[in-house]
Structures are given as structure tokens and as C-alpha cells.
Structure 1
């Protein structure tokens, strides 16, 4: 589903770009002059986990298979113009999706091997946006930034761990994101689709409590961090 959305987004971008190249009348000619402006955004994401392993007495060949459902992003935009081609943006919002972890190195019933991990983040990114000069009614850009993410669904403080069926992750997380996009100047607002990648900096794994023989779910894992891509549609 996400691949179809991305394909439609790219096709739409190329269509509007072709139209913008032919358009001679500038729309919203003074839009970029104010020091501040505001907006909102909507989007969809497909966020999974990057998993790396460490030597473990539990197994010699750990394997965690990660699958994820399409989630959503929604939030607000506050934009500060630093230069004609540089903007600093604060984009607070919510980012949510569900991941399924399958521990293939564990033998047993599916309810032992599989954990469903829901994640709803308060996403607080600070973004630096670098744009080209305006070309008629469109303007390509690249962006990058760092964010603090608070996971409402982490279960970090839950005393139940995987032995009770709960896979826990950290509540406070640091992430960075990179992306590319295009500003389209329309008659009444600016529409800006972008494709972004998001990457966790810290290890989000909360290890299981000490048990005789260790934990077959968390002991073999060295690092578990969010990795994902999302389609971001802003209206300013």
C-alpha cells in the first residue's frame, strides 16, 4: 500500500512539475518574504526496526524478522526564514504504526515466537530545509534534522516482560531524518510533498528481567532502533 502511495506521489509531483514549468503567472509571489509562517501536515509511514545481534549463550544464530503496517503522521509546522534558501522548521506531531516481531530462533508456539509492538510517538523534530531558487511555481528542496520522540506505547515502566508476553521499548528516543521534496505554489496555499527517512540514534530495546537461562527474546539483541520511510504532505 505504501509503495502505491509513494508511486502516486511521484507521478503527481511530475505532473504538477510539468504544469509548473509551463505556467508563466506567479502564484503567491510574496509567500516567502515573511520571517515566520505556519501550516500543518499529514502523511503515512512504514516504520520498522533495524536489529543487530551480539554473541549469546541462548543461540548461535539469532534471527528477528520485523514486519510493519502502514501508519500515519499528523502535525503542525512553524517555519522561520533564515535566508532566501534556508529555513528552520519545528514540526511537532504524532507518528503511529504497528510492528510485528517474529523470533525465528525460538522454537515453540506462535504466541511465544511473535510479539506485536504498537508505537505512538510524540514527534518533535527540528528541521533545516535547504531550497533552490524558485522556478516559476515550484521549488525543490532537501532537508535534514533531529527529533526527540516520546513513545506513549513503550511499556518501559511495565513490570511484565516477554515472559509475560510484553515486548518493551524505551519511552524517550532520539532520531534523525533526511528527505527531499518540492514546494508547489498554488492559488491559495503552498503544497509540499516530501519523502523522508527516519532513523533512531539510541537503542530502543528494554531488556527482560533476569531469569535462570536468560531471555531468548532480548539477550541475543545488541541494538534495536526505528528505521522507516514516510510520505509527508504539508499545507502552508
Structure 2
């Protein structure tokens, strides 16, 4: 299942890269006669857009001392799953090559955990930890000079995530793994901007990782007791449509 998710994500990336290469390789009779689209766009102090994205998310897991002390749970490890993002984009021009970008998103993700039990009977258990995140990333964007109707850019910045479906306050059976509502982290990525007559098409690939430990420790919860730390990890392929 994990390998299938990885293949799917890289299938999206591969198709986007193929499209980019085809656009770059498109024959031009005379480079000087190429029509440059949206010439006034680069001088805009700000502009807006929308974001559609696919994500692969998982936890970086560190075991607690109780994991080594117990013989009822032999394996506890993270699983990688697919999700999607919907967002808005606001871009402010700082200099010719630097922009400030705010890209709030609604993120649907699942960061599941896999356990192998030996008690009360041998079995495999998957704990589904589904998240609906409000993500607020602020990024610095460094962009290259324009090459015809295309340019390359990189991004780096910080984010704050708020989990609308957090179960941190629930009190249920001992099979619960509690997750905090808030998390913060960093984002790094790169992309391309393709200028069309009335909009900009921007495929982008980035990593979006959390700094904090989102696990709410509770020694009374069986599946939580063997986990010390959970940190969010996400790989995102985005399409930005900008005006």
C-alpha cells in the first residue's frame, strides 16, 4: 500500500515534468518573434490565485521506553497515505526577484499507524488518524529572470497548522492515539511559472514538515504508551492558477 501511494505521487510529478519539457521543447521559428504574454504582470505590487494539490503524509515516529519493555506490541510504525489540498494564494512583490507569498490551505490528510499485537491474540492493527488541517504558510519566493513565457522559482518559509479533527480531548477506549490540535513547521520547494494570455500556470513540488511533537502522551492508552514522539511529514505536488 505504501509503495502504491509513492508510485501515485511520483506519477503525478512525472506527468507534470513531461508537460513542462514538452512546453520547453516546443519549436519556435524565431525567438525574437515570440509573443510575450502578460507583460504588465511582473510590475504588479500584488496578485491572487487558487491552489489545487495532492499530498502524501505520514508521521516520523519515535518509540517510548515502554515499547522495549512490553511484549504485547511487537511493531509500531507509520504508514504513508494520500490526500489533497485546496487553497488560496496571495503574492506581494518585494523586489525584482523576491516575493512574499501567503498560501492558506484546507488540507485533507491521513497519517496512519501500523501495529502488530501479540496479546490478547496475534493480529495486525491499523490506527487511522485522519486530519482536516487549516494550514497557514508564509513563504519567501525567489524567482529567476523570465525566459520567454516561463520562469523558475524556489520557495522557503514557515507554517502553522490547526487540526479541526484533533482527538486530543476525547476519552474513549484504550486503543486511542491522541493528536494535538496545533503544529508548526517549515516548507521548502521549487516550481515553474508558465505565462498564458490571461493566467499563470504554476506546477510546484515541496516538502512540508512539522517541528513539534503532536502526540499527546497518555500511559493509560495501550497504543499511545509505546509512542514517544510523532512529527508530521508531508510531500506536496501543487498546481497554482494565478491572475
Matches for 1:74-93 after TM superposition, within 5 Å? 74-93=86-105
Show the counterpart of 2:45: 35
Structure number with higher helix proportion: 2
Unpaired runs of at least 5, structure 2: 1-7
Q: Structure 2: how far apart are the matches of 1:155 and 1:85? A: 43
Deviation of 1:55 (Å): 2.5
Q: Structure 1: how far apart are the matches of 2:111 and 2:25? A: 38
Show the counterpart of 2:3: none
Deviation of 1:111 (Å): 7.9
Alignment partner of 2:193 out of 183, 188, 191: 183
TM-score, structure 1 normalization? 0.88
Structure 1 residues 96 and 188 mapped into 2: Cα distance closer, same or farther (>3 Å)? Answer: same
Matches for 1:153-192 after TM superposition, within 5 Å? 153-160=165-172, 163=174, 165-192=175-202
Deviation of 1:9 (Å): 1.3
Deviation of 1:30 (Å): 1.3
Unpaired runs of at least 5, structure 1: none
Listed one character per residue, the Cα deviations across residues 57-112 of structure 1 (whole Å, up to 9, x for unaligned) are 63389642322332111110111100111000111110112232112365456888
TM-score, structure 2 normalization? 0.86
1:58 is the counterpart of 2:69? yes
Deviation of 1:113 (Å): 3.1
Show the counterpart of 1:123: 135
Show the counterpart of 2:5: none
Q: How many aligned residue pairs are there? A: 230
1:230 is the counterpart of 2:230? no
Show the counterpart of 1:49: 59
Q: Structure 1: how far apart are the matches of 2:154 and 2:241? A: 17
Deviation of 1:166 (Å): 2.7
Q: Structure 2: how far apart are the matches of 1:230 and 1:65? A: 22
1:14 is the counterpart of 2:18? no
Secondary structure of the equivalent of 1:70? strand
Contact 2:111 2:128 in 1 (8 A): yes
Structure 1 residues 205 and 26 mapped into 2: Cα distance closer, same or farther (>3 Å)? Answer: same
Contact 2:185 2:208 in 1 (8 A): yes
Deviation of 1:20 (Å): 8.8
Contact 2:114 2:124 in 1 (8 A): no
Q: Structure 2: how far apart are the matches of 1:140 and 1:95? A: 25
Q: Structure 1: how far apart are the matches of 2:160 and 2:27? A: 36
Contact 1:107 1:113 in 2 (8 A): no
Contact 2:117 2:123 in 1 (8 A): no
